[in-house]
Chain A
């Protein structure tokens, strides 16, 4: 028979033994998972990733590096990549266009900071942010930002703000483990036909869909998000830096789907008034002028058919010329 003290000491020794075993098993399991994640992170971009739209950053960076002045540089999300015809810009404005835009979810903050590194004196910068960029944490980027950085240049992680890092942290396990998916190596190339990295023309406009007709687009929904004032501050700061470096920033608006615009009219006008009231920013037109009929959209509320792309490009040029005169 054990005494009470012996029972207590036996219990404590059993407890610590079992607990040690439990924690050891758990930590070993976590360690295996973490190792897989780290290993996945350092694996090179998969063939599928290399074919994806996001990988076009390599091409866009080369355009920024090698296009001679005078240059007009377009910054934004897919409202620009699938919403402008740079051939018209080049012909009419006698400037060398560079369309840097890829995907809105990369986040406006990254787009501005990344492009800044490539700018030359005299560059004209056209910023056309999607309206979502001003709401919630959208401007900090999402999974697309992680994929662009991790697949192309991991060093750029060190340039990110804390808010951007915290926004993309949750995508890291999924991104890293996706490197072990067979579909990333064996896939149907036709799946990427419309949104692949080789769908761009020589200026960086996405032109793969120019030959196609309208595709219905669902109406946007960003009503639940809160206005994020830091985005406007970032734009103002970007403008100041550009002026210091002898560049000029102009802000224009996306060719937005009419029904989405109607739904978010108040929020969009709020953004417009904020931009106007900043006093220092050069604004080309207003959101309403750039709105496009639903029948001219291509699958999303920001992607335009060729007809709408040309219409928007001419309108943009008219606003730009009016401003200069």
Chain B
């Protein structure tokens, strides 16, 4: 069941009604849990067992870590099994194939056993949920949860189950355990955020996808200018697709009185790569920061240690996205981008919101934003390419004379992308773009704006089909 499907259009209001009809916290949580399992089973009911197993494992080890003497053993059991499952489903074939190539280069023939199983939806996300809980319990940041329904809901809450945000037990579990009251303002804002998420996904991302697929899936015979436009469209597509998903997830959760972690904070208005990574997929970046980067020493220590730690988290981040060399290179490129900032300790130069309280950015900020956008767009080429060879020939073509020719794909889409950026620019002071736009004071203009967005969504809804969100594959 996709967020942009007709199925979900019926599922969400039904759950909303059932949920708020309950006046007992246990039943509210139970309804959300059943809804979440139904939501997950609609993808593939067989993997529901894997999700329940993973949930039970972390629930049980959490209790053991709190009570048992050999806490470390239980922690490692959980980490080993969680990562083991992730490796089997996601990375086994990649590593075994890489090993085969390596062994073959030494002149040894080796025919490994490959498994043919589809990747369970959301495994990377719920594994990281579970791991954060177990590690936080071990570090005494949170007490072990004794109620299985509460804990299961923390792992499986349907808005975040298949593509995040990657929640922390310290943030979500207390909300699950506390009775929730209906809040009109938050619910209306939740609907607004869902509307914006759907707009970004259906009107922008899905339309960009058609052109991106054309450029990236049909060889390298396009001109440099077409490749450049294709890469630009992919930057927009992946942002609108993933942040659109996150907006729908956060908005949905708010309808049930739950606040999820913000996952995007207008990353394309970043003035350097460090700022970009504080604003892009925030829940994953902060997960790696808290559970890998800081335990490794973080930015303390000498230069070489900082370089090592930076590379480790970016390479892991790349690998987290998928078992393909292209993702690892994408991670490495971003590590290289951020290195000068880490070395010269200027990675926290741009903390505040760009041009706060002003209508336009300064020229200096504007060029910094453009440069950061260009750098990220360049790295996305590897992220989107099917293999490294394709990415290299794509880039080679990009820097040819044909960059000065007319692009061979539609350029009209830019006319829709410009208003997107304008709205995001005016909403950048808030948790999401539609939270409080300058023209909201007029009821008529506000509702007209919502209606226009809805009409656009309905106009384009069937054109991309019920297309999957990019991050579902991770």
Contacts and interface: CB of A to CB of B under 8 A. Distances in A.
Nearest to B454: A33
A29 B184 contact: no
Contact of B451 (A11, A33, A143): A33
B458 interface: yes
Contact of B188 (A25, A143, A170): A25
Interface in B178-192: 181-184, 187-188, 191
Given A22-B187, A143-B462, A170-B462, A32 B451 contact: yes
B6 A170 contact: yes
A171 B462 contact: yes
Contact of A18 (B184, B191, B463): B184
Interface string B436-469: 0000000000010011001100111111000000
B278 to A, nearest CB: 34
Interface string A159-199: 00000000000110110011011000000000000000000
Contacts of A33: 451, 454-455, 458
A181 B462 CA distance: 17
A261 B323 CA distance: 35
A180 B450 contact: no
Q: Which of B181, B459, B461 has the most CB of A within 10 A?
A: B459
Nearest to A142: B462
Nearest to B195: A29
A36 interface: yes
Contact of A29 (B6, B450, B461): B450
A25 B181 CA distance: 19
A292 B188 CA distance: 58
A22 B451 contact: no
B20 interface: yes
A177 B462 contact: no
A11 B181 contact: yes
Contacts of B182: 15, 18-19, 22
B20 A174 contact: no
A147 to B, nearest CB: 13
A198 B463 CA distance: 27
A21 interface: yes
A270 B274 CA distance: 58
A174 B181 contact: no
A224 interface: no
Helix, strand, loop or mixed for chain B's interface? helix
Contacts of B187: 22
Given A29-B447, A32-B451, A33-B454, A22 B462 contact: no
A22 B6 contact: no
Contacts of B6: 170
Given A26-B191, A29-B447, A33-B451, A174 B184 contact: no
Nearest to B5: A170
B461 A22 contact: no
B188 A177 contact: no
Contacts, number: 48
B427 to A, nearest CB: 20
B254 to A, nearest CB: 12
Nearest to B185: A18
Given A33-B451, A177-B455, A180-B455, A19 B461 contact: no
Interface in A246-284: none
A36 B455 contact: yes
A23 to B, nearest CB: 9
B184 A21 contact: yes
Interface string A23-50: 0011001001100110000000000000
A29 B192 CA distance: 12
B461 A170 contact: yes
A178 B183 CA distance: 36
Contacts of A22: 182, 184, 187-188
A33 B451 CA distance: 7
A11 B6 CA distance: 34
Interface in A122-143: 143
A191 to B, nearest CB: 13
A115 B229 CA distance: 47
A37 B459 CA distance: 11
Interface string B1-34: 0000010000000000000100000000000000
Contacts of A19: 20, 182
B184 A177 contact: no
Contacts of A11: 181
A177 B458 CA distance: 8
A91 to B, nearest CB: 43
Contacts of B191: 26
Contacts of B184: 18, 21-22
Interface string A194-234: 00000000000000000000000000000000000000000
B460 A174 contact: yes
Given A15-B181, A18-B182, A174 B461 contact: yes
Nearest to B455: A177
A106 to B, nearest CB: 16
A86 B34 CA distance: 62
A128 to B, nearest CB: 28
A26 B183 CA distance: 15
Contacts of B183: 18
Nearest to A25: B188
Nearest to A176: B458
Nearest to A17: B184
Contacts of B20: 19
Nearest to A218: B218
10 closest A-B pairs (Cβ-Cβ)? A173-B458, A18-B184, A174-B459, A170-B462, A177-B459, A177-B455, A174-B462, A171-B462, A15-B182, A177-B458
22 contacts: A11-B181, A15-B181, A18-B182, A18-B184, A19-B20, A22-B184, A29-B454, A32-B447, A36-B451, A37-B458, A143-B462, A170-B6, A173-B459, A173-B461, A174-B462, A174-B463, A177-B455, A177-B458, A177-B459, A178-B459, A180-B455, A181-B459
Given A21-B184, A26-B191, 16 more contacts: A11-B181, A15-B181, A25-B188, A29-B450, A29-B451, A33-B454, A33-B458, A143-B462, A170-B6, A170-B461, A173-B461, A174-B458, A174-B460, A174-B461, A178-B459, A180-B455
